[in-house]
Amino acid sequence: MRILVVEDEQKMGDYIRKGLSENGFQVDLARDGLQGRAMALAGEYDILLLDVMLPGIDGFAVLADVRAVKAMPVLMLTAKDEIDDRVRGLQAGADDYLLKPFAFSELLARLHALLRRGKLQETTQYQLAGLQLNLIARKATRNGVRLDLTAKEFALLTLLMRRTGQVLSRTLLAEQVWGMNFDSETNVVEVAIRRLRSKMDEPFESRLLHTVRGMGYVLEDRDT
Amino acid sequence: MATRSIQRSLSWWLAIQTLCCLAVTSAVIYVVAHHSFDQRQRAEIVRHEGMIRALYGEAKAADNWDGLRTELLDFFRTHDELAVQLRRNGELIFAAGPAASTGSWRQERLMPRADAPELELQMAIDVGSDRGVLRTLAIALLIVSLGASLVASLIGARLVRRALTPLRSLARETRQVGPHASGKRLDEGAYGTEMAPFVHQFNQMLERTEQAYQQLEAFNADVAHELRTPLANLIGEAEVELAKPRNADELREVLLSNVEEARRLSAIVSDMLFLSRADRGVTARTEHVEALSIPALDVVEFHEAVLESRGLTVELVGDAGVEADLGLVKRAISNLLGNAIQYATTGSVIRIDIGRRDGATWVGISNQGPDIPAGAGDKLFERFYRVDRSRTGAHYGLGLAIVAAIARMHGGETRASSCAGTTTVAFSIGTVAGP
């Protein structure tokens, strides 16, 4: 998976490169707008991560030039919490938009989501270490035992199953499962996860739903 | 537009007005005088005509023409302001005074009469003295008009100047009040009734400015304080751990703790940015929301697990459609519900009320639990306000401030009341002009 990161901030560029490399991306890093545009137009990338505030030419200008030629997904980063900026970015052809400061897990999740977009229709059956999910029948079983889940719990589990092995932040879960587009001061997601865990994990031998402290939650089979 | 001097323009108008009034008055006086002189002259001529005709009638009856001439001569000797020509059948029988109506003479052509058709009479009267009087009158009127106008405008200018004195002292006073002179206000009664509303408005504006100023200062202090704790934790922890060699697990622990603190900082900063945007007067991007009960139920679903763990149930009453930003409304309801859950007695019912009142749509959330201390009602919506100052944890006291900001962005307001174990916090959505 080749990704081009256009980010002028030294520290942020460095840790994004490191983090993405460790998560299986081949990362190229451009430190300003002009270099970023040249690399984006010349190279073959699966996805572009683009900061808005850049020296040389800004992210919107880079986006416009890239969009004129290429159709790769673009995720934009901005420090400005201006709705107009967001609208402008999306109108200019960005596929998604992430506000600084962001959690790295959030960045990763969004990149994966963009890369998956447009792929073949996703499967309707999931399986992980005895946990089975049937999206059509809306049925979840573990070791053959039917799990009694509420609609939201089922949606939560589906999301975690789809992104097996990926750490999903509370913000992302609140947004994707409940449509709540804001950071909540409360521990709502924590409690929902705890309840889900009590239904699908605790009655069984091994644990699949893990808390990654400071980051979020991940569904994976750590025993095998 | 160039600034005009009220004093100068008022003085000018006063002068022009005085001049106009006096000019009209003078003109009327002159015309009336002229007219009455004219009347008097006519009356004089007519009176003498009557007399001449009577004498002529007597002479004709007696056929004594010399007698008539003598009598007329006697009469006109003492009346040199009159001129006359008497013709009988075209023959001049008597003449006195200058023949032509020249200079200051006014001539009247008198019609022949039926009792003496052969008599042709021409008379003139000297109007020189009358014209002299009229001329003197005209000059006097002109001088008086101009002079009086000048005096009136000078006095007017002084009066205007005096009338505007309160404005000048107001400007002087105004210079001495402001956020730097906290609590100082203008005396509303000191500048005349016309100025009172302005002074009142000014005082109110000052009040608001001062409040905003104080709020800002308090806010800055609060922000610094709130940020200081997580920053101190971040720095302190890192320093302590770096002072000695540690193994990977220990360092991992510190990093995790640091991430948590940094998240907290990040959340505070995001919320403060949001609040400052609302303070700048940014209004919400509204869309039509058919029924508020739908986002409300979404939010309830979001909090479902927590509600269940506390044995709480939610009762939703009423419904309304609004023009609002759906995301923001959800956030406001979520904050209120989170707050209600936190203070609700375990196992009680939380009530969400949606309804229209006073031209706005209100969403109120009530919970059973300890009352808010008296007087804390409005403070609840202030940034970083906590009923319990010592409470720590994930909450940093911006939740209700954000609700208030969202209400403001929708042209609405917030209310909180607490009575006999029921606490209600509500916000309204008014009508906002779209961006």
d(CA B307, CA B313): 7
Confidence at residue B28, expressed as pLDDT on a 0 to 100 scale: 95
For residues B179 and A96, which has the higher predicted lDDT (pLDDT)?
A96
Confidence at residue B204, expressed as pLDDT on a 0 to 100 scale: 87
Predicted confidence (pLDDT) at residue A48 exceeds the cutoff of 90: yes
Identify the DSSP state of A117: T
Cβ contacts (< 8 Å) between A174 and chain B: which residues?
A: 302
Determine the residue of chain A that is closest to B400 in CA distance: A185
Confidence at residue A82, expressed as pLDDT on a 0 to 100 scale: 59
Tokens linked to B15: 């002068």
ipTM over 0.95: no
Determine the residue of chain B that is closest to A213 in CA distance: B256
Confidence at residue B365, expressed as pLDDT on a 0 to 100 scale: 94
Mean pLDDT for each 10-residue chunk of chain B (435 residues)?
Answer: 73 85 92 92 87 86 85 84 83 76 72 79 84 91 89 86 84 76 76 82 85 78 80 86 88 86 84 82 83 92 90 93 90 92 91 90 92 75 65 61 90 88 90 48
Confidence at residue B390, expressed as pLDDT on a 0 to 100 scale: 44
Overall pTM surpassing 0.90 (yes/no): no
What is the distance in angstroms between the Cα of B338 and the nearest Cα belonging to chain A?
A: 7
Cβ contacts (< 8 Å) between A213 and chain B: which residues?
A: 256, 259-260
Calculate what percentage of chain A has a pLDDT beyond 90. 22
**A213 CB within 8 Å of a chain B CB:** yes
Write out residues 219-278 of B within 8 Å (CB-CB) of A: 255-257, 259-260, 262-263, 266-267, 269-271, 273-274, 277
Q: Across the interface, which of A185, A194, A214 has its CB nearest the CB of B394?
A: A185
Q: Do A152 and B301 touch (CB under 8 A)?
A: yes
Q: Do B303 and A186 touch (CB under 8 A)?
A: yes
Mutate to test the interface with B, among A180, A190, A217 (most CBs of B within 10 A): A180
Predicted confidence (pLDDT) at residue A89 exceeds the cutoff of 80: no
Determine the residue of chain B that is closest to A169 in CA distance: B263
Q: Do B260 and A81 touch (CB under 8 A)?
A: no
Confidence at residue A121, expressed as pLDDT on a 0 to 100 scale: 57
Residue with tokens 């890239």: A66
Confidence at residue B34, expressed as pLDDT on a 0 to 100 scale: 92
**B129 CB within 8 Å of a chain A CB:** no
**B394 CB within 8 Å of a chain A CB:** yes
Q: Do B305 and A192 touch (CB under 8 A)?
A: yes
Confidence at residue A194, expressed as pLDDT on a 0 to 100 scale: 92
Q: Do A195 and B305 touch (CB under 8 A)?
A: yes
Q: What would the pLDDT profile of A111-134 be if each residue is shown by its tens digit? A: 988 888 766 556 788 888 888 888
Q: Do B301 and A182 touch (CB under 8 A)?
A: no
Q: Do A81 and B270 touch (CB under 8 A)?
A: yes
Confidence at residue B136, expressed as pLDDT on a 0 to 100 scale: 93
Cβ contacts (< 8 Å) between B255 and chain A: which residues?
A: 214
Segments of chain A assigned E as strands: 2-6, 26-30, 47-51, 74-78, 96-99, 125-128, 131-134, 139-142, 145-146, 209-212, 216-219
CB pairs under 8 A between A and B: 82
Determine the residue of chain B that is closest to A181 in CA distance: B327
Q: Do A195 and B308 touch (CB under 8 A)?
A: yes
Confidence at residue B138, expressed as pLDDT on a 0 to 100 scale: 92
Q: Do A188 and B338 touch (CB under 8 A)?
A: yes
Q: How many CA atoms lie within 13 A of B203 on its CB side?
A: 14
Q: Please, what is the angle between helix A170-178 and helix A151-162, to 10°? A: 130
Cβ contacts (< 8 Å) between A182 and chain B: which residues?
A: 327, 330-331, 334
Confidence at residue A80, expressed as pLDDT on a 0 to 100 scale: 67
Confidence at residue B406, expressed as pLDDT on a 0 to 100 scale: 92
Mutate to test the interface with B, among A99, A183, A188, A197 (most CBs of B within 10 A): A188
Q: How confident is the model at residue A203 (pLDDT cuts 50, 70, 90)?
A: confident
Q: Do A215 and B259 touch (CB under 8 A)?
A: yes
Q: Across the interface, which of B267, B304, B338 has its CB nearest the CB of A183?
A: B267
d(CA B155, CA B38): 39
Cβ contacts (< 8 Å) between B306 and chain A: which residues?
A: 186-188, 191-192
